[in-house]
Structure 1
Amino acid sequence: MTTSAVIPSSPTVSFEFFPTKTEEGAAKLLATAQKLTAANPEFFSVTYGAGGSTRDRTRNSVYNIRETTSVPTAPHLSCVGDSKEDIRTLLTRYQQDGIQRIVALRGDLPSGMGRFNSGDLQYANELVEFIRSETGDHFHIEVAAYPEVHPQAHSMEVDLQNFERKVKAGASSAITQYFFNADSYFYFIERCRGLGIEIPILPGIMPITNFTKLARFSDGCGAELPRWIRKQLEAYGDDSASIRQFGEEVITRLCERLLTGGAPGLHFYTLNQAEPSLKIWNNLYP
């Protein structure tokens, strides 16, 4: 499909991956990253498992992708489960190896880990502050934002206050949790600007390729899957081609609205697949 909307000519685009467990998976990840260079991304990012469980694989994936594609690649870094010394060591290595962007998150507790042994830093704003105290302005620090409210937040107001603390601690920009309702993003931006928060806030985009996985992800992270989308995907059953076509159309229209409404760019959650994200981007910028 193509789009007829008038959208900005030069937004940023970035793509997120997860580290793989096998050599075969690592090779496929590199192939995916190479394909996505066609979109001229500003950066790639690589996620970090609960409690730092993928620390080495995250770091190796970042280095391999950067060396293979020449695209700046940002490691995710969470504080739950790690000591300050562990984080300091990792930051020093990233500095020495020329990494200039980090996605700083609180992270999830690994199964079986209680709060009593969850690390020296408890919240993302503390991690951002620690990174700044250790490395100054070396890193561009991305943080997370939640237009539909973090699933563990007591209220929208509390969640917005938490986001404001991350910004005041030194965040450079933010990436949102994915969503399917553009109004939630625009309302979140309006609230942020009202508080004087002016950093760029990139909408996170999740391509639709598999209903079962999407429903599970959405239920787990608090992203609302609108009833009309859910019902249409259910109606397709096992017709994967129709699911992909419908998903491409829905997400392309969402991206159109976000960009024409002033979003500074798009950040795609690729699930280590190139084609779904690249098709949407090419619909927007053929």
Structure 2
Amino acid sequence: MTISVPQLEEARRALDTPLFADVGGDLTVSFEFFPPKNETMNTALWEAVRTLEPLDPSFVSVTYGAGGTTRERTHATVARIQRETSLAAAAHLTCVEASREEVDAIAREYWAIGVRHIVALRGDSPASDTPYAPHPGGYENAADLVAGLRRLHPFEISVAAYPEAHPESPDQASDLDNLKRKLDAGARRAITQFFFEPDTFFRFRDAAAAAGIDADLVPGIMPVMNVASITRMSALCGTRVPPWMGRLFEGLDERPAARQLVAATVAAELSRRLYAGGVKELHFYTLNRAELAYAICHLLGVRPTLREREVAA
């Protein structure tokens, strides 16, 4: 068997890299939270926010439920982050179940309270068995929403990308065309759906470049804490779960501490390999679990900033 030069180079890099050495020091991170449903979840959310705040993320985003079901809670969470922390809050905003006037009003409210970053998404139908359909008088899709937001204010806008293609896309070429429309409408970056192997992202990045996309593509990292749950989520968003995933977490259902250690190690190794391939920005889907996200960042060498350490002292 002939071994190619790129393979030899990758092997040499792997051997030359010390175990658990910090990445180059130029890695930036961001975190995603979801709005709480009750007081217990609210307490957990704010513990997560305060735990991760010293890591000085480039921004933190707050999700928006299907059909606008968390609209008020999302707004309240974003407003509090903006008001009470040093973090730059980014609000998710979708096209679903709202007219243009309603969406524009929400965006104007965010601008008024100092929020300058919107994660603009088409959104999914509130009913899982019903295909997405634009709201009468609403924004048709994410590209349309991006253009509308840009007309209102000079927001920084992020959009979604799908390394394995959106489940509703007929193929990757169509999916990349849609992504390019969103970026051409005025989005600054695309944050990817989660995936589990670095090659998935690298193939997607190459395909995007070939399609004329030169915007920042930020990998979305989902630490795995429950294989059954992640399998269900993956099926909904078109993400492939590799065969080794089940074997890796087998036997850990009743050992949450061990499961968390494995989850942190796997996510950190995925992140490290992405960094070795030129990725300098990562977005973590925290599921409001601060310690897991914090441990992953620690393994990558992302530590509290000097300013935060001085405040703590």
TM-score, normalised to structure 2's length? 0.85
Tell me what 2:139 maps to. 121
Tell me what 1:150 maps to. 166
Tell me what 1:35 maps to. 51
CA distance in 2, matches of 1:243, 1:76: 30
CA distance in 2, matches of 1:150, 1:114: 14
Q: CA deviation at 1:40?
A: 1.2
Q: CA deviation at 1:117?
A: 6.4
Q: Residues 165 and 62 from structure 1, CA distance in 2 versus in 1: closer, same or farther, beyond 3 angstroms? A: same
Q: CA deviation at 1:7?
A: 2.5
Letter in 2 for 1:60: A
- Give the share of equivalent positions with the same residue, in percent: 40
CA distance in 2, matches of 1:197, 1:20: 36
CA distance in 2, matches of 1:235, 1:25: 28
Contact map agreement 1:209 1:244 (CA 8 A) in 2: yes
CA distance in 1, matches of 2:21, 2:178: 35
Tell me what 1:71 maps to. 87
Contact map agreement 2:147 2:186 (CA 8 A) in 1: yes
Tell me what 1:105 maps to. 121
CA distance in 1, matches of 2:67, 2:133: 13
Name the SS for the 2:204 alignment partner: helix
Name the SS for the 1:236 alignment partner: coil
One of 177, 181, 188 as aligned partner of 2:204: 188
Tell me what 1:45 maps to. 61
Q: CA deviation at 1:74?
A: 0.6
Contact map agreement 1:201 1:264 (CA 8 A) in 2: no
Tell me what 2:269 maps to. 253
Q: CA deviation at 1:28?
A: 2.1
Q: CA deviation at 1:114?
A: 6.7
Q: CA deviation at 1:39?
A: 1.5
Tell me what 1:274 maps to. 290
1:78-135 deviations in Å (ceiling 9; x for gaps): 0121100001111111111111000000001112877566342221111111111222
Letter in 2 for 1:123: N
1:169-217 deviations in Å (ceiling 9; x for gaps): 1111111001011111111111222233221111000112222222222
Contact map agreement 1:185 1:203 (CA 8 A) in 2: yes
Q: CA deviation at 1:253?
A: 0.8
Q: CA deviation at 1:232?
A: 2.3
CA distance in 2, matches of 1:23, 1:198: 43
Contact map agreement 1:109 1:118 (CA 8 A) in 2: no
CA distance in 1, matches of 2:167, 2:278: 26
Tell me what 1:233 maps to. 249
CA distance in 2, matches of 1:225, 1:33: 29
Q: Residues 38 and 139 from structure 1, CA distance in 2 versus in 1: closer, same or farther, beyond 3 angstroms? A: same
Asked if 1:167 is matched to 2:205, the reply is no
Q: CA deviation at 1:63?
A: 1.2
Judge which range, 185-194 or 93-102, deviates more: 185-194
Asked if 1:199 is matched to 2:212, the reply is no
Contact map agreement 2:22 2:299 (CA 8 A) in 1: no
CA distance in 2, matches of 1:49, 1:280: 27
1:15-70 deviations in Å (ceiling 9; x for gaps): 00111122332232111100001211111100001111111100100111222322
Tell me what 2:148 maps to. 130
Q: Which has the larger radius of gyration?
A: 2
Q: Deviating runs (4+, > 4 A) in structure 1?
A: 112-117
> Which sections of structure 1, spanning at least 5 residues, go unmatched?
none
Size of the aligned set, in residue pairs, is 283
Tell me what 2:13 maps to. none
Contact map agreement 2:134 2:141 (CA 8 A) in 1: no
Asked if 1:10 is matched to 2:26, the reply is yes
> Which sections of structure 2, spanning at least 5 residues, go unmatched?
1-17, 304-313
Name the SS for the 1:118 alignment partner: coil
Tell me what 1:222 maps to. 238
Asked if 1:62 is matched to 2:78, the reply is yes
Asked if 1:88 is matched to 2:101, the reply is no
Letter in 2 for 1:118: H
